Amino acid sequence: MSSEFNRRNFLKTIGVAGLGSVLASKAKADSNEPNAAGVKQQSETPQVPTRKFGKSGPDVSALSLGAIQLIDTPVILTSSLKWGVTYWDTAPVYTGGNSETCIGKYFAANPDMRKKVFLATKASGAHDAAGLEEKLQASMKKMNTDYIDVFYGVHGLNDVSQLTDELKTWAENAKKKGLIKYFGFTTHGNMAKSLFEASKLGWVDAILTTYNFRLTKDPMMQKAIDACHKAGIALTAMKTQKSVNVETDEDKKLIEHFSAKGFSEGQAKIKAVMEDERIAAVAVGMNSVALINENVAAMLDKTKLAQDDKDALAEYASATCSGYCAGCAHICDAAVVGVSNINDVMRSLMYHNSYGDTQLAKQTFAAIPADVRARLLTTDYRLAEQRCPQHMPIARLVRQATEILA
């Protein structure tokens, strides 16, 4: 079986639909076996590649299970482990807390597996040391573990000033006590500036950042990633795929291009990021066995993207830019008065429109300060729209988000 996964034409031969069904049937069969995530199966099944987690970290699976849509279905966890996807990324806010609960149930039933999993969670909504401690303890309790491998102490950092000395002291103590192994933050806004400045701090171990085929050409982002890499910070990429709308001409064209090559467009987007060796792993939200299989296949396949593949992604990025918020919040924030969270509004809408996760979308929207939310519909966005490099119809999207999520 393993040799099949190394063939250049692996994805072509099975095809995207076939790949899903063939591997899904196997995974289904395996999941019915006792101890489906056990070592015995792992030795028989090809494992996704690993990469070093920062300068001094362990080798982690280069595909990380984004547990953002995890509900109480252990088959997602067992299926991911079967392929060696041992880096799990969750947060207390995912699926209204069910994501961590599901992981906790899994560890309660399979205590031997805890040490095989590299577990990340986040201090969602915490702003100070007491908040971090509370979030950490709650997450450990829910997940039936006495340590977290990587703790993202700021969830959704927009400015590096959020990394206070208080958090630094807390992180150092938590590491000394063995409660966490690595400390870092997640960022969806002002990523380049945040990464670049964090690289100079000397106490950030890991960053989970938005990074995808659209941003691989951004010179500021490249400079920031380079600085983090040189500083030994482990970078995990997220928001790499974003679902496509098969009704649009641009999406149809992209799907057809990669389909002819034997890839899905999602697999191509993962490859586009993982060809960057500075990235330790790509965290992908996976809520079905078919999706795990598709992404695992992309990781196992050794084919590099050809120039025409890169051109197809670049052309798609350009044609669809007005539907993608690039997180450059400093640009739009400086162009409006009284509203400083436009990228958070856009992210909320993305969770609703692309992930179909209205609960997370509403949570993200509700986390925007109440006084800012109250001004959203009366703010003049014309200058922000003029300056937005993605040419986003900001006013219309803010209106849409408010109607759906407020």
- Positions touching ligand SF4 (CB under 6 A) are 325-329, 331-332, 342-343, 346, 388, 390, 392, 394
Smaller CB distance to ligand SF4: residue 235 or 350? 350
Please say which residue, 41 or 400, places its beta carbon nearer to ligand SF4.
400
Terminal Cα-to-Cα distance of the chain (whole angstroms): 50
Nearest-approach distance from CB 388 to ligand SF4, in angstroms: 3
What's the closest the beta carbon of residue 342 comes to ligand SF4, in angstroms?
5
Q: Which is nearer to ligand SF4, 292 or 397 (CB)?
A: 397
Least separation in angstroms between CB 405 and ligand SF4? 16
* 85/191 with CB nearer ligand SF4: 191
Taking the complex as a whole, the smallest distance from the CB of residue 385 to ligand SF4 amounts, in Å, to 8
Report the residue number, 343 or 348, with the smaller CB distance to ligand SF4: 343
Closest separation between CB of residue 401 and ligand SF4, Å? 12
Record the tokens describing residue 314, joined without a space: 């670049």
Of 69 and 343, the one with the shorter C-beta distance to ligand SF4 is 343
* Cβ proximity to ligand SF4, 238 vs 388, nearer residue: 388
The least CB distance from residue 279 to ligand SF4, in Å, is 22
Q: How far is the CB of 300 from ligand SF4 (least distance, A)?
A: 34
